[in-house]
Structure 1
């Protein structure tokens, strides 16, 4: 068995995929080594940004085995071979391999961190290597069926855009959330602040700017402000500065710790709150955190509203989020044009805490269903069924929904853009389980799903999309 060193070029294989060109590397600090009593190497795969701990018997010298394994014809595979050959050539000339640096730059410059584009063609490559003819798949199975939103797009041109906007008090009309409606938002004359420019925050703030709102933004990483400043936003020097400049300030950050730090930390929101100032928390956090922050804001004379959102990055970009507001009714009315700009539907749910609890239940159901979908597709593979055909069946069945269409396709194509990071889904499952504990409500299915997401996060996929749970299921 070869004794590889960090930097060696190799062929390595992950479960369910053919051999792929890679390089032995030092593992990331947050990636735990599996507790298996076999020799393993940490491999970074070329052309994908993917990585994995791989058993030593599934790792082979690149140059020695190139003739055997470099047989794929898929575009992604050929690109990976091109990249490793380029790295080999540079090393032969005494030049450094810059592929790691390029990978790091890409991950810093984008919230999307796709895994390998290992679509069904990889399994065809694997079958060819073993001498077994690959199965033919129907081309139409690659494409997910259109959502109801896409079906209704053609009707947008026929809308009467002179009709008045829907009143905030008519939010019980759930049917209006099923189709894309051309927006005619009349922006409030109040100055709007936005704190937290991550995967969701940037497109949400951008929609506020595009709809004519006067927006001031802040983010810990100032580089993320550039796109919004170019679109017309102003930049605050701190959370306190933004709150002082604005009438209503929105926040969207990752978790309870980030929420508390933003509000009570150095130069935090509390230092800018004065009588009448409005603060809207759109992060997904637990009920206790919401009530703690609300009390702190109220003691300074401010108004507080929780408004967590349901929807992924794509929904944020298209202004199609579902907003779950609760708390100060007057602040809800004052900021309603902002909700119109960011979402397709806004619910006012009453007392503080109702928004957080509703959002956690929604995300709990999403997470458990995603885990079930991953298990179903994995079981189909083990049973020798065509996964694309199964996905077609699901998309024509009673459980057809955008999650099956988009996440199912992502799994089969091996492409996982981080629309909703897996670590955030696991956090929401944990918070939902805590809610169940307090209310003495058993949550058997959610508990099992949470363990699966914890496992996926432990093997290094926390920053990737939640659909990466398939990697733990199919290991």
Structure 2
């Protein structure tokens, strides 16, 4: 068996991928070697900077096997990786150091929860021992608008031209008009409310949502635990609050979009929280996906102080948030829904008012339960194809032309085959929603066998260190 030294250029293979351009490197001190009685080397894959312990029999010298493996894939990520290693080889021949490590480090966003942070780098700090299965060799001022009052039902009726862009011409406030379903952002003629808007929580979804409110001409004040996340909003024209209570005191309607029930409670009842600023007439809109008990608890706390409460979880991902194409599922105080109508127009392609409190959250959980179950099934299908010798790319083409073709198959399937999992919708959030759906089913005595099985796959994937990556990373557990 061939032996390797640190610095050797090689071809290395991970399950589900062709041999990939890589280099043998020294393992970081905090990365444990898997307890397997086989010879292994620590490998860095070109193209993303991901790392993994790899068995020696899955590693081959680069130059000796270039002709054999360089045509392993025509995908852009693979071709970029080949270009990177060729550049490194050329530099070494000239006596120059390989700078690809530095370039890839510098290209990573510095903000927490980075969408493009290499998969294995994210995982290794959380669970070093899972590195063999963890690595993936993948491809790779506010416009001033005159303030006007909220449009009446008649004024907001779509014109004939606007109706041509929709699939449902029901008038506001029951739903907003559908935007075109293409990937381009459809311009919206929005009359911003004259009420001041607060936005708490600037995560993957919060940043683009708050930015769309600003772009639509709303007066927005933002706050986030990590203050650096407020910078792009402030640059776009928003104000920055010093605490949740400060934002509530200075705004008429406040939106919240955070990760889970604990974060929701901490934001509302914690030190310098929402309750310390709430007063009669102020509106609080919870857009986080949490259980119905939490929603009721927060609603009672807000209304006891004279505030109005609306739940409005959203269906969509980072891209749809950026494009203002979310589907908003509102329930609760209808007067608050009406007052915030222009905000919902800026955030989504359609808004549903579902009536009693709890209806919005329950609808969102059912949607995400179905999405999560299907995603797990798609991952299993692609894994089965590989083991059966069926070309995965061909299978994906077939699926995209079949009756089950949909954006999830197209985008998540491509992410799986590229091995690139930027967090459009973090897996830990998907697993949380699966858990809450199962909890709802148990309370209502409705068996959820398929969702229960899918949830176990998400739990396993999160346990091996991929909770912060996209939900499509469930493929890692299925294909281990």
Question: Would you call these one fold, judging by a TM-score over 0.5?
Answer: yes
1:126 corresponding residue in structure 2: none
Q: Spell out, residue by residue over 1:24-83, the C-alpha distance to the aligned partner (whole angstroms, 9 max, x if none).
A: 433878xx98776667666443331433443455457xxxx3323555265322244257
Check the 8 A contact 1:25/1:44 in 2, yes or no: no
Query: Residue 93 and residue 417 in structure 1: after superposition, are their counterparts in 2 closer, same or farther (change >3 A)?
Result: closer
2-structure distance, mates of 1:39, 1:353: 55
Q: Are 1:407 and 2:412 counterparts?
A: yes
User: Structure 1: any 5+ residue segments left out of the alignment?
Assistant: 123-155
Q: Are 1:111 and 2:112 counterparts?
A: no
1:470 corresponding residue in structure 2: 475
Q: Are 1:68 and 2:64 counterparts?
A: yes
Q: Spell out, residue by residue over 1:94-119, the C-alpha distance to the aligned partner (whole angstroms, 9 max, x if none).
A: 99964675366557594344656736
1:78 corresponding residue in structure 2: 82
2-structure distance, mates of 1:95, 1:75: 18
How many Å apart are 1:337 and its aligned residue? 0.8
How many Å apart are 1:421 and its aligned residue? 1.2
TM-score, with length taken from structure 2 = 0.79
Check the 8 A contact 2:48/2:104 in 1, yes or no: no
SS at match of 2:351: strand
Check the 8 A contact 2:173/2:341 in 1, yes or no: no
Q: Which moved more, 1:266-275 or 1:100-109?
A: 100-109
1-structure distance, mates of 2:326, 2:83: 36
Query: Residue 51 and residue 68 in structure 1: after superposition, are their counterparts in 2 closer, same or farther (change >3 A)?
Result: same
2-structure distance, mates of 1:94, 1:371: 39
User: Structure 2: any 5+ residue segments left out of the alignment?
Assistant: 72-77, 120-135, 141-158
Residues 6-25 of structure 1: pairs in structure 2 closer than 5 A: 11=10, 12-17=12-17, 18-22=19-23, 23-25=25-27
Q: Spell out, residue by residue over 1:140-161, the C-alpha distance to the aligned partner (whole angstroms, 9 max, x if none).
A: xxxxxxxxxxxxxxxx996489
1:48 corresponding residue in structure 2: 48
Q: Are 1:253 and 2:269 counterparts?
A: no
Query: Residue 251 and residue 378 in structure 1: after superposition, are their counterparts in 2 closer, same or farther (change >3 A)?
Result: same
Query: Residue 236 and residue 448 in structure 1: after superposition, are their counterparts in 2 closer, same or farther (change >3 A)?
Result: same
SS at match of 1:54: strand
How many Å apart are 1:192 and its aligned residue? 0.1
How many Å apart are 1:336 and its aligned residue? 0.9
2-structure distance, mates of 1:308, 1:254: 12
Check the 8 A contact 1:426/1:453 in 2, yes or no: yes
Query: Residue 97 and residue 112 in structure 1: after superposition, are their counterparts in 2 closer, same or farther (change >3 A)?
Result: closer
Check the 8 A contact 2:113/2:468 in 1, yes or no: no
Question: Which residue, 18, 21, 26 being the options, matches 2:28?
Answer: 26
1-structure distance, mates of 2:98, 2:361: 57
Aligned residues: 429
Question: Which residue, 245, 258, 262 being the options, matches 1:240?
Answer: 245
How many Å apart are 1:370 and its aligned residue? 0.7
Residues 334-373 of structure 1: pairs in structure 2 closer than 5 A: 334-373=339-378
Query: Residue 409 and residue 176 in structure 1: after superposition, are their counterparts in 2 closer, same or farther (change >3 A)?
Result: same
Query: Hey, which of these two has a bigger chunk of helix by percent?
Result: 1
2-structure distance, mates of 1:80, 1:186: 49
Superposed CA RMSD in Å reads 3.5
SS at match of 2:301: helix
Residues 151-300 of structure 1: pairs in structure 2 closer than 5 A: 159=162, 167-171=171-175, 176=178, 179=181, 182-300=187-305
Q: Spell out, residue by residue over 1:107-134, the C-alpha distance to the aligned partner (whole angstroms, 9 max, x if none).
A: 7594344656736xx9xxxxxxxxxxxx
Query: Residue 92 and residue 177 in structure 1: after superposition, are their counterparts in 2 closer, same or farther (change >3 A)?
Result: closer
Check the 8 A contact 1:193/1:217 in 2, yes or no: yes
Residues 137-152 of structure 1: pairs in structure 2 closer than 5 A: none
